[in-house]
Amino acid sequence: MQTARLGAARALKFLAQNGIKTIEKLIRKYKNITASGCSDIEPAWIA
């Protein structure tokens, strides 16, 4: 049981870190879009 719990905890930590990285990438992309003056184009993930 303990090894299964450790594996699940590691998987959750990994997913959380990757999720944060993905969100940061999306935010950067959106900031780049607004900075370049194309803010009228709304990315699908915001809508």
Q: What is the rounded distance in angstroms from the CA atom of residue 25 to the CA atom of residue 18?
A: 11
What is the structure's pLDDT at 3? Answer: 84
Contacts of 30 (CB under 8 A, 6+ apart): 43, 46
**Residue 38, SS3?**
coil
**What is the C-alpha separation between 26 and 23, in angstroms, rounded?**
5
pLDDT value for 40? 54
Q: How does pLDDT run across 7-41, given as a tens digit for each residue?
A: 889 989 998 899 999 999 988 887 876 666 555 55
What the block records as the tokens of 12 is: 């959750």
